[in-house]
Amino acid sequence: MSTSERLIESTRELLWERGYVGTSPKAIQERAGAGQGSMYHHFKGKSDLALAAIRRTAEELLAAAEAVLTGPGTPYERIEAYLRRERDVLRGCPVGRLTMDPDVVAGAELRAPVDETLDAIRERLAGIVEEGQEAGEFAPWLDGEEIAAAVLATVQGGYVLARASGSPAAFDTGVRGLLALLAPPGRATARPGTRRTPSAEA
C-alpha cells in the first residue's frame, strides 16, 4: 500500500474511532507509519486528508447500501435486507458519526460527502416504497420520502440507543418495530437479530 493510501486508510479508522476533532495529524502519521513530510507531500493538511478519507468511506457505504437495495426480492424484502444487513452496531456508523462532529457539520466541504450519501440512500429508499405501492405491497397513502426518512432514522437512532445501552438489542428492537409497521397484510416479520461483523455501515 502506498504512503498516500496508508494515510487515507489510517485517517478513516481514526475518524471512526475518535471523530474529526479527536484525530490529530500526529496520530494519523503514527498509525500510517508516515512522517510529517510525507503527509504534507501528498495532502495540504488535516482537512484535505480528512476529506479524502470521508469521501472514500461515503462511497463504500453507498455502494454497500445500493447492492442490497437493488438486489433481488420484493420492495419490502429489499428494505428488510437493508435494515438487517451486517453491521457492527456497537461501533456505530462511520458516516453517521461524522454528523456529530462540530467541525464537519460547520464545514461545507467536509459535510458534503455525508449529506450526498445519506440523500442518495434516502432517494433510493423512497423509490422502493413507491415501487411497492405500485405493486400493491405498500399502502397507497404512505409517503415514500417520509418512510425513507424513517428507515434512516431507525438505523442511525438504533446505533445511538445500542451504544448508550452497551447492547445491540436496542438496534434490533427498532428494526423489528419498523418492519412490523411496514409489513404487508398477512406477512409475519422474522424475529432474529441483525447480523453484525467488524464492518459497520449505514
Q: Rounded to 5, what percent of the chain is helix, strand, coil?
A: 70, 0, 30
CATH fold of the domain at 55-182: Tetracycline Repressor; domain 2 (1.10.357)
Here the cell at position 95 is 458516516
pLDDT of residue 201: 59
What are the tens digits of pLDDT across the range 134-176? 999 999 999 999 999 999 999 999 999 999 999 999 999 999 9
Confidence of residue 191 (pLDDT cuts 50, 70, 90): low
Q: Work out the mean pLDDT of the chain and round it to a whole number.
A: 90
How many C-beta neighbours within 10 Å does residue 58 have?
Answer: 22
Query: For position 41, what pLDDT does the model report?
Result: 87
- Say yes or no to pLDDT of 196 above 70: no
Say if residue 194's pLDDT is above 90: no
Could you give the C-alpha distances from 20 to 49, 54, 61, 135, 150, in angstroms and in order? 11, 10, 18, 44, 27
39-42: long-range contacts, CB 8 A cutoff, minimum separation 24: 39/7, 42/3, 42/4, 42/7
CA 172 → CA 21, 41, 155, 161, 177, distances in Å? 30, 45, 9, 10, 9
Give the burial class of 134: count Cβ atoms within 10 A of its Cβ; 0-12 exposed, 13-18 middle, 19 or more buried.
Answer: exposed
Residue 96: pLDDT band with limits 50, 70, 90? confident
- Predicted confidence band at 187 (pLDDT cuts at 50, 70, 90)? low
Residue 33's pLDDT band (cuts 50, 70, 90): very high
Question: What pLDDT is recorded for position 188?
Answer: 56
Rounded to 10°, the helix 75-83/108-134 angle is 140
All structural domains of the chain with their residue ranges: 55-182
pLDDT of residue 189: 55
> pTM here?
0.85
Give tens-digit pLDDT for 42-54: 999 899 999 999 9
